[in-house]
Amino acid sequence: MRDVITNLIKNYDGTGRYLDRNAMDSLKSYFETGTARVVAATTINANAASIVKQAGLQLFEDVPELLLPGGYAYTTRRYAACLRDMDYYLRYASYALVAGDMDVLDERVLQGLRETYNSLGVPIAPTVRGVQIMKDMVKNMVTEAGVNDTSFVDQPFDHITRELSEQDI
């Protein structure tokens, strides 16, 4: 798993350049949000089960047809798989939050997910909705934990939804 610093240095080293003003500004921005990133990850870790459970309840309230016969979450097995997947998204989003880099999402979650969802016929719109619900919950919890600017929390969740939404699944 890479992070902002590793990727930045790798790019500059690959071209044989010293770190310039843009690189320094990028590093400064990353370090300025470091404590907030740790607070966000700690908040997610302490509340993961609750976040997934509540986001699932909200999702099924918003899209009740998922629980009806023929709906993707109709059986207990499918319902559990949906919550399991939401937990994966949340866990890997927390890794990406700390790293300040979305590569871990691409490498560990999104690459194989597209093919899996496609082969299983998993509907993408409810998946995207569930990820967005979790994002909103995490932002509220991080705000309650004393972080004023939670805009960095958007990045991994929006990356997941954007990557899934751009695919023909």
**Per-residue confidence in pLDDT tens, the chain, 169 aa:** 788 999 999 999 999 999 999 999 999 999 999 999 999 999 999 999 999 999 999 999 999 999 999 998 999 999 999 999 999 999 999 999 999 999 999 988 898 787 788 788 888 899 999 999 999 999 999 999 999 999 999 999 999 999 988 644 4
Rounded distance between C-alpha atoms, residue 45 and residue 153, angstroms: 14
CATH of domain 34-165: 1.10.490.20
**Is residue 131 within 8 Å of 110, Cβ to Cβ?**
no
**Is residue 96 within 8 Å of 126, Cβ to Cβ?**
no
Rg (CA), the chain: 18
Boundaries of every domain in the chain: 1-32, 34-165
**Is residue 157 within 8 Å of 93, Cβ to Cβ?**
yes
pTM for the whole structure: 0.89
